[in-house]
């Protein structure tokens, strides 16, 4: 089978009418529809019934990242609006950047950049004063220095005060009050994402209780979702696409629990799946080089397809990663991953995924194809012809390989 860099993205397209895109969430999270692909068959239900389709003792892995209010609106001296969209910290990891005091440097997108003639922009509210100054102009983004008073409050508190939630661009509307609650999972914990891990938006306390009654276990990892998740593939083949890198944050105890689990593992969302599959390959690299630095362990875009075939089991690979962390006196793994999961990738830890329905010609659709093969088209045709709602606020699916 050909290398995934040679995949033609035109093979992963389908017609998505605008009316199929869910612009707003349903009134109740768990009333969304659920497409179940199991034993190569498709059936339909409601998300509130998902426990009945999951085997006892399965482990569900959730991404507990929290969406930050990353859009900031300033005015120049002519009262023209300039929007600053905080993408990611310029140097520090996300958790450090969110707790920063006094000043922070972020990579940003700037709307109406040509109107920014002043040395700095300024906004004030509730006795908090925030300033923004251009540090560097890059081809893909602008590096912005933020500084504020009072100096004892964190950047997270600054964003909470001034920021707006960055809902997906394809919703074609401004964020509203409903999004503040509904574009977060109920278990969101660690601030740092600029997009929600939307597979988790359907979960409610009732759903968690039904899973618990069936002895389904849960575990949390953190991957801070970047704006690159919406980045379209514009090249004819994947070789011309630059996959976005994102921060993962997983503690040692979580990796040990993953390693000890002996039943099926289902990732809740593409971000959770990318995280646990990354952990496998970090273990492979730790096996190949026990003295590797953390930076040397980080997974690049095509690396998992080009590494020497070690045929390590999930247990062996995670044990190697555990050994590496303990050798380096680290209680958690904090690094970036650029892993691109596409056919012919074979899942190493996950046995399936809970996920929404994704855009045509996207890296997310390639990931789904790696899970279910060419059946992705049959699944999407079914969803389109049976009135499923698509994308971030849309309906859900349980896809088992």
Q: What is the pLDDT of residues 339-357, one digit of tens each?
A: 999 999 999 999 999 999 9
Q: Calculate the alpha carbon distances from 19 to 31, 189, 198, 389 in Å.
A: 19, 33, 19, 9
Q: Which residues pair with 218 in a beta bridge?
A: 60
Q: Which residues pair with 111 in a beta bridge?
A: 83
Q: Calculate the alpha carbon distances from 365 to 52, 97, 176, 232 in Å.
A: 26, 31, 28, 11
Instruction: Provide the pLDDT for residue 110.
Output: 95
Average confidence score pLDDT of the chain: 95
Bridging pattern class, strands 41-46 and 33-38: antiparallel
Quick one: which of 84, 146, 71, 158 has its CA closest to 115? 84
Instruction: Provide the pLDDT for residue 229.
Output: 77
Across 61-76, average pLDDT: 96
Quick one: which of 305, 231, 221 has its CA closest to 271? 221
The H-or-E segment that residue 220 falls in is strand 217-224
Provide the whole-model pTM: 0.94
Half-sphere exposure of 37 (CA within 13 A, CB side): 28
Mapped onto helix, strand or coil, the DSSP state of residue 211 is helix
Across 1-23, average pLDDT: 94
Q: Taking 70 as the threshold, does the pLDDT of residue 63 lie above it? A: yes
**Do 70-164 and 4-66+181-400 fall under one CATH topology?**
no
Across 264-291, average pLDDT: 96
Q: Residue ranges per domain, the chain?
A: 4-66+181-400, 70-164
- Domain 4-66+181-400 class? alpha beta
Q: Calculate the alpha carbon distances from 41 to 52, 108, 345, 399 in Å.
A: 16, 44, 22, 10
Q: Name the pLDDT band for 1 (thresholds 50, 70, 90).
A: low
Say which residue the tokens 């251009």 belong to.
Answer: 134
Pick from 93-97, 226-230, 236-240: least confident: 226-230
Which superfamily does 70-164 belong to? QueA-like (2.40.10.240)
Question: DSSP assignment of 285-341, as one string?
Answer: HHHH-TT--HHHHSBPTTHHHHS------HHHHHHHHHHHHHHTT-SEEEEEE----
Q: Name the pLDDT band for 311 (thresholds 50, 70, 90).
A: confident
Say which residue the tokens 């300039």 belong to.
Answer: 82
How far is C-alpha 249 from the geometric centre of its chain's CA atoms?
12
195 CB contacts (<8 Å, ≥6 apart)?
67, 166, 168, 225, 226, 227, 229, 230, 392
């Amino acid at each position: 089978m050909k290398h995934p860099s040679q995949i033609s993205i035109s093979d992963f397209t389908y017609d998505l009418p605008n009316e199929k895109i869910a612009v707003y969430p349903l009134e109740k999270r768990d009333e969304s529809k659920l497409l179940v692909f199991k034993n190569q068959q498709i059936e339909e239900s409601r998300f509130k019934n998902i426990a009945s389709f999951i085997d006892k003792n399965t482990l569900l892995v959730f991404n507990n990242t929290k969406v930050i209010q990353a859009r900031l609106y300033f005015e120049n001296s002519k009262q023209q609006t300039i929007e600053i969209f905080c993408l990611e910290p310029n140097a520090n990891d996300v958790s450090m950047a969110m707790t920063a005091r006094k000043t922070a440097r972020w990579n940003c997108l700037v709307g109406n950049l040509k109107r920014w003639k002043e040395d700095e922009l300024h906004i004030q509210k509730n006795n908090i004063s925030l300033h923004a100054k251009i540090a560097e102009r890059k081809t893909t983004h602008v590096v912005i220095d933020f500084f504020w008073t009072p100096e004892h409050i964190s950047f997270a508190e600054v964003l909470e005060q001034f920021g707006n939630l960055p809902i997906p661009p394809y919703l074609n509307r401004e964020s509203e009050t409903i999004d503040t609650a509904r574009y977060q999972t109920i278990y969101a914990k660690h601030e740092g994402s600029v997009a929600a891990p939307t597979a988790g938006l359907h979960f409610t306390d009732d759903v968690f209780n039904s899973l618990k009654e069936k002895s389904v276990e849960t575990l949390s990892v953190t991957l801070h979702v970047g704006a690159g998740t919406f980045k379209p593939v514009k090249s004819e083949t994947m070789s011309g696409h630059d996959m976005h890198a994102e921060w993962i944050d997983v503690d040692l105890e979580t990796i040990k629990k993953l390693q000890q689990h002996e039943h099926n593992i289902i990732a809740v969302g593409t971000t959770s799946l990318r995280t646990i599959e990354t952990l496998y390959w970090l273990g492979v690299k730790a096996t190949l080089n026990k003295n590797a630095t953390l930076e040397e362990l980080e997974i690049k875009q095509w690396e998992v397809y080009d590494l020497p075939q070690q045929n390590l089991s999930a247990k062996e690979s995670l044990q190697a990663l555990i050994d590496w962390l303990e050798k380096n006196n680290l209680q958690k793994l904090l690094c970036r991953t650029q892993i691109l999961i596409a056919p012919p990738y074979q899942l190493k830890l996950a046995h399936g995924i809970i996920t929404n329905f994704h855009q045509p010609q996207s890296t997310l659709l390639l990931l789904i194809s790696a899970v279910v093969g060419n059946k992705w088209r049959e699944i999407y045709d079914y969803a389109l012809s049976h009135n499923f709602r698509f994308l971030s606020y849309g309906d859900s699916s349980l896809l088992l390989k």
